[in-house]
Structure 1
Amino acid sequence: MAGWSAMAGQHRFVVLSEAVAAGLAQALSAAGFAIVAGRPQQQRWLVEAVDAGPYAMDAAGFASIAAAGRLARRLARQHEGWWAGSGPCDAGRLDAVPAHPILLRRIGARPGTGQLPVVPPRSKRLSMRCPAPAGTTVDLHDLDDVPWTELEHAYGPAGDVPGLIRRFASVPDDWPGILRELIGDELFHQGTCYSASAPAMRFLARLIMSDTVAVGRRHELWLDLLWAASRWESSLVGSAERAVATGRQPVPQPWTAQVRSAVGAELPRLLTRWPREPEAARLVMAALAALFPETAGPVTAEVAAMADRHQGTQEGVLLALARAMIARDDVATLETAAVAAEWSTEPQMPDTPGVTTAVTAGDILAGAAMRTLVPADA
């Protein structure tokens, strides 16, 4: 963005034919997008809508772009199209848009979003105070019973995973580097799950249960479990618009269901740690309980009480969303998910065609929970 004086917003959608692209382009232009272009792409059509802004290059500017993107995304769904990405562009170079088979311009037009971008409530750095770790060992007795060499991670056979887990469990000085290698590079590279991802989850859970790890590192493990479990929701939401538009059912990415099940199997024991975990970790635990409401019984009242204590903050909204999901209240879930979705810098939607309210809300909740401020003393 170096050299830009201000931002515009660009939103891309795919539709199945030129006729549909023309209809969507007219709808986007009528809604106030200053430039709408359409061109063929791999036997389909790509439609790009530009919200000329201009917007300042700050949080409010990105929020404005996302708000316009949600409007465009709703229109694309009405024309059986699917979102293909959004982002800022240079507001000073909009005259350089090349000619396309479809090209509509409305100089000075602005999207009629009907409201200013939503300013999120303040974010509260939740407490990290909790009892000191009291455990001495991590249960890895059956680590070698897993046929790791027959499983795979991002770089091939997963024979190195047990060694990484053992090093990890010893809480070495290079703990952050091992965590990145194990979780970010191998087991969940760029959010992708592999056959070795699910079996590793029970050992991450045992590391938390062992009570041998300092609170800041334990908080990272809770976040990793939430990230892992929510890959199923994320992959369904990410593919649903396209699937429905092309007459198919949304299908999750490979191994995401197995990873989700592996985390869910450990969750009843993990939730018993509620009294020993700080509020920052309890937010993540509440999000996990919301993904698996059948396991949430022991912490249901605690999640509700915590939501009440933190009303008026971003964390309070997320806890209220977890409470609604645990109660399986689809109306409250949709309403609260819509609030949280408006904080995203992408045009996130509170509803998704072809999937349940709980799936979309779970994706929103997990993503937002992982973006909350980490306490300074973590």
Structure 2
Amino acid sequence: MKKTLIAVAAAAALTATSAFAEITFGAWLRTLTAPVASNGEDTVVGTANSWGWGARTARLDINGVSEDGKAGFSMNAFNDMAMGSLEAGDRACLWVKPVDMVKISVGKFDSPDNGLRGDFCYGSWNWLRPYNWGYDGEGLTFDGIWRTGMMIEADPIEGLHAFAVIPMNTKNDSSYYKKAEDTYRNIQIGFGYAIEGVGKLKAQYIGDDSYTTDADGDRDETKTTGQIGVAFDLNAVENLYVTVGARFGIADKDYRPDYIKMAITAGASYQVSETMKFSVDGGYIQYQDDCTVRNDEAVDNVFFVGAGVDYTIMDGLSLAADVRYMSNVKGINTTDADAVKNFTGYGKDYDEGAISFLVGVNKSVSSNGSLGIGFQGATNGCGFVQSDGKGLVANEADDFVWAIPVSVSVWF
């Protein structure tokens, strides 16, 4: 992303001195518009972005940093077509560095803000995202941060980056203050350690006391729930990148049968030449209890796998293609087989897997934009970008859903 840099002379109102700060403005935007698509029964038209919600047509990223690099801020402002006005974006925080090895930030954090999220994005993840994925693309092997509050980061020795996020004043709680025991029950803490020439080891704990509330709304404050995550990114082999991760849930199945007990995920990409790259990823997820259906039987697990290729046809023109499979729907909070079947699944009897695929081409139209067109399909009622039930949703559980998306990307 290109950014516009502005040197701002901030004349201090109460002193005779002045300081210089660097302010950067940037933007990255993508919309996916389908002039023609099908939900299995009707021919439809729609527009969104890769991850759902409304089409994001405008965005402004503003970042400031002091001349000595010890203080700054970040802010995002987005406009989605569905909103019709500017809204707060993913990030809004300020930060200071009291010493070189410590950074203290307060505000709303975007998922990759601590630099450790285990991203692995290719193929349809950058177009209309199919709904047959578990942990895929962003955060495939290691979760990022989706919290507001205070983040403390430390780099005590070379290669080691540690962090802790204390959640405060969340958007679901209008109160400025919460009980300390409730706040620290939800703490997120972890580290990443880079081994030169080999890769990076990562580990974290994410607290989440929402899983101590049962179906009747009763909460057990004696319960401690959360997730432990570990991952390793390997980059020791030239042109090869491998990332492997595992998540282990801490919860009682009486409270959330669909809470993840264990998840193993992995991704690998190999740059065959300057023009071609192959990617493959997959994972296995086991829940606390039987909460999804496969082969007409309630089970406690799903698995998924995908593979794709990126190919540069010529300067400014590229091809992306992939295929993905998921064994059955992700878990829901029930152990009743009939109730599971009432949840949108894959296949006529809601108990099958689904295949999705993409073939798309992108053409650069300037140094700051690209235009693309593709064809995407998904079997057994699997749809695309179904955030909150919106997006291209299958009419029936065994329908073939398809779209011809037009991709417009702009960055500054």
TM-score over 0.5 for the alignment?
no
TM-score (norm 2): 0.23
More strand by share: 2
Q: Please, what TM-score do these two structures have when normalized by structure 1?
A: 0.25
Report which structure shows greater RCO (CA 8 Å, sep ≥6): 1
